[in-house]
């Protein structure tokens, strides 16, 4: 039911933007996501984390964990993957959709795949982006 409500809200809000505004939002979010992947694949955790709003309200959800705050998310990533190319591995994101909610917010959903050392992980992701200081950044990351 919650998914249905979210999809309805996304659909309603998409019509509130002109097609050029919606396209601008979509391109900005796609570019921000591509930059995050480049940073990750370079083994640069600090660069990767610039894709997230540096706020105690930033939320990362994975498995059964809710991790609140930019710093806590950074610490989680660093503990799990380190801060180098070997530990962080190679990330791939397949964007299945980007919905412009308004001029300042967008919803991205897709699939991710990570090859790190001798392990391979894969799952789905849904990200809520906010335009913050003229940059598209993640405010909520739900990846499983």
63-88 tens-digit pLDDT? 999 999 999 999 999 999 988 899 99
CB half-sphere exposure, 29, CA atoms < 13 A: 30
Q: Residue 14: pLDDT band by 50, 70, 90 thresholds?
A: very low
Give the CA distances from residue 103 to residues 17, 25, 26, 111, in Å, rounded to whole numbers and listed in that order: 7, 7, 10, 25
Q: Please tell me the pTM assigned to this model.
A: 0.85
Q: Looking at residue 52, what DSSP letter applies?
A: B
Mean pLDDT of the chain: 90
d(CA 102, CA 49): 24
Looking at residue 129, its pLDDT comes to 98
Six token digits for residue 57 = 């309200």
Which tens digit of pLDDT belongs to each residue from 29-63? Answer: 999 999 999 999 999 999 999 999 999 999 999 99
How many CB atoms lie under 10 A from the CB of residue 85?
14
């Amino acid at each position: 039911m919650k998914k249905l409500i979210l999809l309805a809200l996304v659909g309603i809000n998409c019509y509130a933007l002109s097609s050029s505004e919606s396209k601008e939002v979509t391109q900005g979010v796609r570019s921000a996501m591509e930059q995050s992947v480049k940073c990750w694949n370079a083994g640069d955790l600090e660069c990767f984390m610039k894709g997230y709003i540096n706020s105690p309200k930033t939320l990362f959800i994975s498995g059964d964990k809710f991790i609140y705050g930019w710093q806590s998310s950074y610490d989680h990533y660093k503990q799990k993957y380190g801060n180098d190319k070997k530990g962080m591995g190679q990330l791939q994101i397949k964007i299945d959709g980007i919905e412009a909610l308004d001029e300042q917010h967008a919803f991205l959903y897709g699939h991710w795949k990570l090859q790190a050392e001798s392990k391979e992980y894969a799952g789905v992701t849904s990200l809520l982006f906010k335009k913050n200081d003229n940059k598209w950044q993640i405010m909520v990351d739900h990846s499983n």
